[in-house]
Structure 1
């Protein structure tokens, strides 16, 4: 008997998102109601969607009614839940994002506290981009700290690949990224190829600013040689930057290379030559 074969069917993401958007504040099949703001506006939602997308809602729905003998989470309350201090437009924006993973924000509906409380690996880059767009400095720092805590996972997300070059530069300037430099170079390469396709511009052009923040002298000679080989395919990194990294190895110090590019990050794997790059090393 011939071996079984299988194939993965991938539908259109846009159609899926559009279908879910029709459920936002739709009373049909809704099983939970919120009464929001001073206007006491009713908002209809679906517990299963909110619970799987947001830990705060999961906790809310897991609390059984007062005096109930049922185990927590067995019969989530129907509501209505009163949210008197929340603006309806803010809450609806949050609901739309949870259902569709996208929402059009403006300065009136950017709910900073809610975003902070519900950050996830998949969403943090989108939150950071929005924070920069709307000048929310505190939220920017909060998102960056989150990214620093789980960098290796964040750089694999779609949100990372969709960052603007200016925001990516801010991320790459951090000394506390929990990822090795070689992995970070690969993440930036993937980001550059995505941006190149979306913007219809050459890879070296879209990546001009971020690649300046890559700390190439931290790589071992064998890693630099491999990087140089890969670079011939897409010209992601300027030849001068690679040459400067080789020079740092040859001179056994970071001569001619900005000191920030010789400084290991929190997640940098140690290499033998690092002690020659760090002027403070014993």
Structure 2
């Protein structure tokens, strides 16, 4: 009977470095992305992206054919965030920065990259401060990231109520007014409404106006309701009736 073979491992660091050298390297690349509002070109390798991420597997399937296809346009994701996503896919590690981590987190959620999402969440919690917390709260509400939402609310309460002696709902009101609730899917809006009954941070009227947009299927259903997608928000099927440009 043949003795089972033994799996041995080479040096992980050199392997990661070699793969990282292929990041945004036109040599041997077979796909080009045009990303962000600046339309920056980013080069990549279809086989690597497809085996690491189901989103790219669907996007870069056989329909593109062999050879270098036409550029794939992803205008809603900033170039820095997209490059961070590719860095993680190529090297299984990524250097995160405070100024762009929320955009990387958004991309990770949209692309279904659970491990990268968790790494971003851990980083956000570590660097959370008064300048970042409102935007982090908006991302948490938009994508239903409960633990991050609770952490942001606790941060706001700890750092404002003791100094200003104002209720959390009052302190959070400026960012809450900017939430694009109409962009949420009905199921997400229902979950948010249920949570808001337990922790009333969002005015009921604001949720009602978002439901009006869904019911009447037009973005101007409620005058003054924020319906425009922010930069970095990928379109969803129910966004088609809004018919409004990015803000």
**Which one has a bigger Cα radius of gyration?**
1
Using CA pairs under 8 Å that are at least 6 residues apart, name the structure with larger relative contact order, 1 or 2: 2
